[in-house]
Amino acid sequence: MQPRPTSSLESSEASTGPTRGPLGESWHAWIALFVGVLAVSAHSALSFGMSPLLKPITEELGWTRSEYATAMNFRMALLMAVAPFAGQLVDRVGARLVLALGALLMGVGTFGMARVHSLGELYLWSVLIGPAQACIGSVAGSALVLRLFRRRRGLAIGVLNGGDNFITGGVHVASAALLLSSGWRGALSALAAAYVALAGLIFAILRGREGRSESEGARRDPSPSDSSPRPPAARPRLRDLPWRDPALWLLLGAYVLIYGYVTTIGIHFPAFQRDLGRSPDVASYIYGLTSLVGAFGSVACGWLAERSSSRLTLSIVVVGLAASTVVLWLPVGLTGYYAWAVGYGVVNAGAVALLALVLDELFGAAQIGRLMGVAMLFCMGGTIAGNFFAAGIFDRFQSYETVWRAYTVLMLVALVPVELLRRRSVAATSPAPTPG
């Protein structure tokens, strides 16, 4: 495995002088991180924050959970198709335009979703929402953060995803409250208004081409004092990614399984708790706790990855995910589920945060937009598979127990490529043995 490339930001740090702000980073980087947190949360809010609405939507409109999951999978398929190109667009024009466009389209699509009366209408609005989610999520957010932060990338990515957990948890609780006061249509309308406001905030705070590929930035923004001719930099292309490196495929394979499980929890856990006889508010409190704890767990995993290895941290996280699946099919009471929420919140948030950090550790930040776009394609593939898997098993057995048992096996399978990736890292960096 080749050593991690050094980005142009890192190589030029000595010539640009020290930055001013907390922990040696610029104030603007921290402000942009705040905007990134809101953007990534906007991606998660509709899928996970609004999960308390699954049961009332399907019951009012007479849909099965499989029919609802199929419509959501159609939206995820569109997200998959657009994500690599959204990453390429970020590398070329920057994160500002991509994030703002995604937020605006999310607002329009969610407003339309609040007024559906048939499955056909839900599919129609999904044509808008799916591509918008590809633009507003972690593809652009991670590129923005990794290219602005020089020293504390692990911490910054941890904050990016930890803030996502914190805000999504708040949306989850708020959607349950709005469900009681305004119904599911009112909850979705409120979220739509928040998306439109976010689009304006992104335009107001981020700079024009911020977060683009460093090679593109060097070509488009030459130093005024440097009048020497420069060869044009190649435009970012998907075919230039390290497709032949087995490390990329090991990571993508593991994350297909991880996202299948994480998405199943995000969409089905409130309904699972309702089926156990718990009220909507209690189910929301338990899942909301996972997001609240995850806000700190993501930061902790990012901090640990800075000081050891993001791949070692990922191995620990996947072991934790496997353990969390076992608890779900054991006969634990309410206290046990709250304890589960604490542990799951840490490892769930850690897994999401570590994707960008492992990619950065392996391949550097110069291609991070395109790499994250491709990674999201595979992650959404896991999301679609997990949706069909969980909803299909529930509709057949009218119970989630078989779902959780199957995910125990799948998380143990996911540990295999993660361990291979970690061991290969150790082998690549260990000194050669000295002859006796």
Q: To which residue do tokens 């292309």 refer?
A: 237
Residue 404, token pair as written in the block: 């959780």
CB 400 within 8 A of CB 394: yes
Residue 296 included in any domain:
yes
Q: What's the chain's average pLDDT?
A: 80
- Number of domains within the chain: 1
Per the domain annotation, does 148 fall within a domain? Answer: yes
Q: Global pTM?
A: 0.71
Work out the angle at residue 412's Cα, subtended by the Cα atoms of residues 41 and 382, and round it to the nearest 5 degrees: 40
Query: Tokens 């909850």 appear where?
Result: 187
Confirm if 114 and 192 have CB atoms less than 8 A apart. Answer: yes
- Lowest-confidence segment of 37-41, 108-112, 210-214 by average pLDDT: 210-214
Residue 388 domain-assigned (yes or no): yes
- How far is 341 from 261, CA to CA, in rounded Å? 15
SS3 27: helix
Identity at 3, one-letter amino acid code: P
The reported pLDDT for the residue numbered 213 is 67
Q: Is-contact 267 72, C-beta < 8 A?
A: yes
Instruction: Decide if 3 is inside a domain.
Output: no
Tell me what pLDDT residue 222 has.
40
Planar angle of CA 54, 372, 318, nearest 5 degrees: 65
List the alpha helices (DSSP H) in 137-279: 138-148, 153-205, 214-220, 246-275
**Is the pLDDT score of 359 beyond 80?**
yes
Q: How many other β-carbons are positioned within 10 Å of the β-carbon of residue 297? A: 28
pLDDT at 211 over 70: no
Rounded to whole angstroms, the Cα distance separating 158 from 320 reads 18
> What is d(CA 198, CA 179) in angstroms, rounded to the nearest whole number?
23
| Within-domain flag for 435 | no
Residues 284-313 have pLDDT tens digits of 788 878 877 877 888 888 889 888 889 999
For residue 321, give the CATH number of its domain.
1.20.1250.20
Containing structural domain, residue 115: 22-220+242-427
HSE value, Cβ hemisphere, 13 Å, CA-based, for 96: 13
Q: In the predicted model, is pLDDT for residue 260 greater than 60?
A: yes
Q: Could you tell me if residue 202 is inside a domain? A: yes
Choose among 1, 85, 124, 4: nearest CA to 366: 4
Asked if 146 and 283 touch (Cβ cutoff 8 Å), the reply is no
Q: CA-CA distance, 319 to 312, in Å (whole number)?
A: 11
419 vs 171, higher pLDDT: 419
The mean pLDDT value for 133-161 works out to 84
8 domain-assigned: no
Q: What are phi and psi of 237, to 5 degrees?
A: -130, 145
In a domain, 300, yes or no: yes
What's the Rg (C-alpha) of the chain? 21
- What is the predicted pLDDT for the residue at 327? 92
